[in-house]
Amino acid sequence: MTCAATDSKITLASAPGKVLVVGGYLVLDRNYTGLVVGTNACLYSTVQTTALDLSNSDYAFGAADVPITVISPQFESAWWKYAFDTKANTLTQYDSADQGSNGFVQIVLQTTLALVNTRSPDALCTLLANPVPAQHRVGLKILLTADNDFYSQREALAKVGATLTSQSLEQLPAMAKTGKTLGNVHKTGLGSSAAMVTSLVASILVHFGVLSKHDLCENNKQSCTATKGMQLVHNIAQYAHCLAQGKVGSGFDVSAAVYGSHVYRRFSPTVLEAAMSENSSIAELVLATSPENIGWNSEVAPVVIPPRLTLRLADVDTGSNTPSMVKKVLLWQKSNPEQAALLWASLDAANNYIGQVWSSLVEASCSNSTEYNSAIDWCSVRPSSEWKSDMDAVGNPTRALLVNLVDGILRVRQLQRELGENAGVPIEPPKQTRLLDACMTVPGVCMAAVPGAGGYDAIFCIVLSQESGNAVERVWSEWTEMSVGPLLAKQASSGVSVLDSKLYPSLMAMLE
């Protein structure tokens, strides 16, 4: 991604979606970790300083009020208008397309602008001093958009008589209109709310100079200032996301949106208790979100999928109620502490093993690329059941590691099914088991499982070649027990980034 050119009027930030490969349920507990992979499907937040026409507004703007218009053109009736009072540090929604609200957007704006106003008091007030035509006022226009994979494209393809394939998805316009309201759209589970919150926080902080755009550029993220800048985005986004959800979750989805692919250990919820209380002050918010606050004890260990291994995702057209599933699992854990502790320990070991094998494969690709590529080529044209039957595998470290990876994910799946049976929750229901087993018979497939909390929503596969990916997609398209459709998203290591708006003319056109 390209760093943004100097532009004081438009700031564009993106944040990736996520796939929790292993660590579902355990990631809620700080004693355990989860392996989360960021995707190249992103949410985009564009902030523009512009003169807004207020002639049709009945709202009585005060002298200290900054007008804000937020639009999300991929949805029906998706615009909201606000006024931010720079003296009182409060946000008021005064209009919307359907007189409804958007809690996530409203909380991000309230939180981030209040912090901007506290950290850099002149930044927002400067807007109000700009000369403008009558019945206009300088304010913010904010555009929220997403890559297509965050939302099901089944209906869009059906309308044009197209089949549910990658080739058909590639023909759809980028950031296509969903034809639905935000509340009715079918999401694919990539973490759209966390990515939106993160990208919007980042774009506002950079727009008003609290952070430098260089802090969120891919080539500069290892510097000391960039690390603190990323931490500030992370802390604010975690706070806003938790407040909008009404609870402190594990935070892995926001962490993935900020940092990309990594092994994640959650933060202690106590860091947000004071700031999330009913009558919290701006001082408590500043303290809670500060990069210097040692209460933020989450751990992020960067990880990459080994070379030539590619993530493939599928949307399954059968919904699951994730909050209900989590509640039942936690209730079973509380009611059966000894049995749960043993199962948690087994799952933790199995989950960690996947990450260890990935790391070993990365090392193998560096230490002996010829042997590594030869093993990938050999395994990519054979089903995994044949990989350890050949005597040559004894002297081939990479092939042995791929066998270990297959055994590892099968062990994870076995334990997930055991957890589901104990808690009475369909973590890997029989329909998904049959689908995943069918995927594992495809030549070149080394992993197949349900991501995150499991259920019927989605599956992922990791394949060794384009041909393997195509073959997996054919299994999905021919599957009759459930409707299974591909997503275009693949793995990506980068997290939140500031982009050069000039390289995104279609987004800029939406601002006009």
pLDDT at 224: 62
- Is residue 391's pLDDT more than 70? no
Phi, psi dihedral angles at 149 (to 5 degrees): -65, -15
Confidence band of 1 (pLDDT split at 50, 70, 90): very low
pLDDT at 5: 34
Report the C-alpha gap between 428 and 413 in whole angstroms: 8
Q: Mean pLDDT over all residues of the chain?
A: 93
pLDDT for 283-300, tens place per residue?
999 999 999 999 999 999
pLDDT for 24-83, tens place per residue?
999 999 999 999 999 999 999 999 999 999 988 999 999 999 999 999 999 999 999 999
Confidence band of 6 (pLDDT split at 50, 70, 90): very low
pLDDT at 67: 96
pLDDT for 162-197, tens place per residue?
999 999 999 999 999 999 999 999 999 999 999 999
Report the C-alpha gap between 163 and 170 in whole angstroms: 12
- Is residue 123's pLDDT more than 90? no
Report the C-alpha gap between 338 and 120 in whole angstroms: 52
Rounded mean pLDDT, 378-393: 85
pLDDT at 2: 41
Report the C-alpha gap between 360 and 399 in whole angstroms: 12
Beta-bridge partner residues of 392: none
Beta-bridge partner residues of 302: 262
pLDDT for 233-275, tens place per residue?
999 999 999 999 999 999 999 999 999 999 999 999 999 999 9
Report the C-alpha gap between 102 and 76 in whole angstroms: 13
Phi, psi dihedral angles at 278 (to 5 degrees): -60, -40
User: Helices 192-207 and 252-259: crossing angle, nearest 10°?
Assistant: 50
- Is residue 322's pLDDT more than 90? no
Confidence band of 131 (pLDDT split at 50, 70, 90): confident
pLDDT at 221: 63
pLDDT at 132: 81
pLDDT at 278: 85
Q: How many CB atoms lie within 10 A of CB 318?
A: 16
Provide the terminal-to-terminal Cα distance of the chain, rounded to the nearest Å: 24
- Is residue 365's pLDDT more than 70? yes
**What proportion of the chain, given as a percentage, has pLDDT over 70?**
95
Please report, as a single letter, which amino acid is at residue 454. Answer: G
pLDDT at 174: 95
pLDDT for 13-25, tens place per residue?
999 999 999 999 9
pLDDT for 427-473, tens place per residue?
999 999 999 999 999 999 999 999 999 999 899 999 999 999 999 99
Confidence band of 225 (pLDDT split at 50, 70, 90): low
DSSP state string for 444-497: TEEEEE--TT-SSSEEEEEESSHHHHHHHHHHHHH--SS-EEE----B----SE
